[in-house]
């Protein structure tokens, strides 16, 4: 299998491109090691939601501790650790809340290239907690991106954590979301729609409305919802032309899938966003404090190492 690594520019920021003859991805180390493109070259199809690159001043704002992750920031593929939604700091209740959408997004990461293996590794050392996260991106085969994660403790006490992979997709109307083996999902948040806390999948009936097929991608409906499922098999999306995205991951580490559907109901007070995210995660909760209270937080022991993986296949 032939993999090429090349350097490019994304706005004002240097990027690295990994490509096989069939699939290419582009990642930007200085903006949180964000994957800004995942393109099926054979079909000329971009799977990740696109947006304009931040300016240098905007990039500095994105790296701050009190930044809010909103519609402007929601595109491409980030990592969320040790929380998604802000919450009290379990290691220091008197400190500021944990950062919205975690420590990594928008913050520069150390870049290491392996030309021989056709791989790129980004490593984050965060200012708040003593841990180091690394993500190695390579190709398992010509059409499958492999993400391998390593989390190392740099401290002398255990650290609870919630991890969520955070790829935001642009799926046009006519696309379908496939969750094999899933018949029910849990709803944790919503706007512009009234769903029960337990929701049938794919068909449900919102309060005061008619039947709704959640697996069918919509647009312009004015609602958003965050859902969670225990997904026993790889999940994905299928486009009207038959193009397919499939996601598989290490369920021993992250047994849950988060499903973010925004059809114009988010963010509050901002331009409405049309986007879908399928997010392998460690918990059915949006924030670490809730996961910890429910016994769903993962624990990084002092001096220990955790490792896990995820694969995204285009066909």
Among the listed residues 216, 217, 215, the one whose alpha carbon sits nearest the alpha carbon of residue 170 = 217
Q: What is the pLDDT along the chain (315 residues), one digit of tens a residue?
A: 899 999 999 999 999 999 999 999 999 999 999 999 999 999 999 999 999 999 999 999 999 999 999 999 999 999 999 999 999 999 998 999 999 999 999 999 999 999 999 999 999 988 889 999 999 999 999 999 999 999 999 999 999 999 999 999 999 999 999 999 999 999 999 999 999 999 999 999 898 888 999 999 999 999 999 999 999 999 999 999 999 999 999 999 999 999 999 999 999 988 999 999 999 999 999 999 999 999 999 999 999 999 999 999 999
- For the chain, give every domain's residue range: 4-314
For 50, other C-beta atoms within 10 Å of its C-beta total: 11
Residue 209's pLDDT is 87
Please state whether 174 falls in left (phi above 0), alpha (psi between -120 and 50) or beta.
left
Q: Which fold has domain 4-314?
A: Beta-galactosidase; Chain A, domain 5 (2.70.98)
pTM for the structure as a whole: 0.97
For the record, the structure tokens of 191 come out as 């706007």
- Token couple for 122: 């980004």
Counting Cα atoms < 13 Å in the Cβ hemisphere of 282 gives 28
Q: Which two tokens stand for residue 257?
A: 């899938």
pLDDT of residue 208: 86
Instruction: Tell me what pLDDT residue 270 has.
Output: 86
């Amino acid at each position: 299998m032939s993999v090429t690594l090349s350097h490019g520019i994304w706005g004002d920021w240097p990027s690295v491109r990994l490509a096989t003859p069939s699939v290419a991805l582009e990642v930007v180390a200085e903006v949180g090691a964000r994957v800004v493109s995942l393109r099926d070259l054979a079909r000329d199809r971009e799977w990740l939601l696109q947006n304009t690159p931040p300016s240098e001043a905007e990039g500095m704002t994105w790296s701050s501790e009190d930044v809010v992750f909103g519609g402007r920031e929601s595109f491409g593929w980030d990592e969320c650790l040790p929380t998604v939604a802000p919450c009290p700091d379990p290691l220091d209740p008197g400190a500021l809340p944990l950062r919205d959408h975690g420590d990594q997004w928008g913050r520069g990461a150390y870049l290491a290239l392996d030309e021989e293996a056709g791989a790129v590794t980004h490593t984050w050392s965060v200012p708040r907690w003593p841990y180091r996260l690394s993500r190695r991106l390579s190709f398992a085969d010509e059409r499958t991106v492999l993400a391998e994660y390593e989390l190392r403790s740099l401290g002398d006490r255990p650290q609870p954590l919630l991890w969520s992979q955070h790829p935001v997709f642009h799926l046009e109307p006519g696309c379908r979301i496939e969750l094999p083996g899933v018949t029910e999902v849990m709803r944790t948040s919503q706007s512009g729609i009234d769903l029960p806390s337990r929701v049938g999948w794919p068909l449900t009936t919102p309060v005061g409305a008619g039947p709704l097929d959640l697996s069918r991608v919509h647009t312009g409906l004015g609602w958003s919802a965050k859902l969670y499922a225990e997904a026993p098999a790889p999940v994905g999306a299928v486009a009207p032309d038959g193009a397919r995205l499939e996601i598989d991951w290490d369920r021993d580490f992250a047994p849950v899938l988060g499903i973010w559907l925004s059809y114009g109901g988010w963010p509050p007070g901002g331009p409405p966003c049309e986007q879908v995210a399928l997010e392998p995660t460690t918990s059915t909760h949006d924030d670490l404090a809730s996961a910890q209270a429910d016994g769903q937080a993962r624990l990084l022991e002092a001096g220990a190492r955790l490792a896990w993986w995820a694969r995204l296949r285009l066909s």
